[in-house]
């Protein structure tokens, strides 16, 4: 994961999107582990959007809430 605490570097939009994808993945897991299912879902939607903006494939089970596909 990139360190975005330094203001000396120039970050591309793809780097920023990748960082956001990493952070929202972790936050979504935390939310679901605490019983905050809707917040976890919203954070997963943000992760999917960030991964698309980065140009990468989305990671997961095929559903944003982490549930296996039906």
pLDDT digits (tens, 9 = 90+) for 15-54: 999 999 999 999 999 999 999 999 999 999 999 999 999 9
Cα 19 from chain centre: 8
Confidence class of residue 61 from pLDDT cuts 50, 70 and 90? very low
- Alpha-carbon distance of 48 to 5, in angstroms, equals 23
Domain regions of the chain by residue span: 13-54
**Separation CA 1–CA 32 (nearest Å):** 22
Give the separation between CA 47 and CA 6, rounded to whole angstroms: 23
Which phi-psi region, left, alpha or beta, contains residue 37 (left: φ > 0; alpha: ψ -120 to 50)? alpha
Q: Which two tokens stand for residue 6?
A: 């330094």
């Amino acid at each position: 994961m990139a360190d975005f605490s330094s203001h000396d570097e120039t970050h591309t939009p793809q780097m920023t999107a990748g960082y956001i994808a990493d952070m929202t993945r972790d936050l979504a897991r935390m939310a679901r582990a605490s019983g905050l299912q809707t917040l976890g879902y919203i954070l997963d939607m943000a992760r999917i959007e960030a991964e698309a903006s980065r140009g990468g494939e989305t990671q997961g089970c095929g559903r944003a809430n982490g549930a296996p596909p039906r």
